[in-house]
Amino acid sequence: MNYDIYRRWRDEPDARPPRLSVVIPAYNEKVRIVPTIGAFAAFLSGTEIPWELIVADDGSLDETVALVEMLDHANIRVLRAERNGGKGSAVRRGVFEARGDLVLFADADCSTPVDELFRLEAAIVAGADVAIGSRTELGAAVEHRSGIRRLLTFGLRQIVRLGLGVPVKDTQCGFKLFKADAARSLFGAQTVGGFSFDLEILYLAARRGFRIAEVPVRWYDAPGSKVDARKEVVRFVQSIARIRWNALSGVYADA
């Protein structure tokens, strides 16, 4: 980290248009949000990239918002939500507030290390419209994932493959980079606001002809996950059914 760069980013609104907008959805993340912000600030302060950070709160009931606001960083914005609307709705709000040429959605648990950003950016430079972190591509590294979660993940991937035909092996890694125009197009058509919103975004990306690059990343199963596996399997199937119905009924007619 370059401390002088960090200090300027912390204390002075950057007059330059941001190259990168980082969107972090957060629901009751008082334990993890400040370290995650610190990880991004430390890493990106070692570069000359103009960037902004958007914390899209999802109606947190704890001190998540207060902690971020106490930091009082000049280039961090907090988007408050009156009620919990789901992870997808939080990301969508962040995307439409983003001013960068590139928009990164990253989970608040920082399971994918921040420096993996450069791998995704390289895929965008090479021609992709959407670059997604993948735990299945050759070169990926996954640590501390339990056997139950591995089995669940495998099952969900088969459901996605059979139910939607999305040409992506790992739809749910919380580390995705978009060209700004692609992000606004995709999230503008979004109807799924919950945990499985990624399914719809990637389905629409394929349907609309956006170039998707699946990039191997390092991933650590961070403790304190709020995902209820049993509930999410049901919601996953419901989301697939909704997406299929939307496609058949003309909701995505402009795609």
Closest listed residue to residue 97, CA positions, set 158, 184, 35: 184
Closest listed residue to residue 51, CA positions, set 59, 62, 61, 43: 43
pLDDT in tens, 123-136: 999 999 999 999 98
Domain boundaries, the chain: 3-249
CB atoms within 10 A of CB 78: 17
Question: In this model, does residue 255 exceed pLDDT 60?
Answer: no
The one-letter amino acid code at 98 reads: A
Instruction: Tell which CATH classification among 3.40.50.720, 3.90.550.10, 1.10.357.10, 3.40.50.2300 matches the domain 3-249.
Output: 3.90.550.10
pLDDT in tens, 137-194: 888 888 755 555 555 566 566 667 667 778 888 898 999 999 999 999 999 999 999 9
Closest listed residue to residue 188, CA positions, set 69, 91, 122, 118: 91
pTM across the whole model: 0.92
Cα-Cα-Cα-Cα dihedral of 237, 243, 246, 251, to 10°?
Answer: 150
What is the rounded distance in angstroms from the CA atom of residue 132 to the CA atom of residue 213? Answer: 6
pLDDT in tens, 50-64: 999 999 999 999 999
What is the rounded distance in angstroms from the CA atom of residue 112 to the CA atom of residue 131? Answer: 14
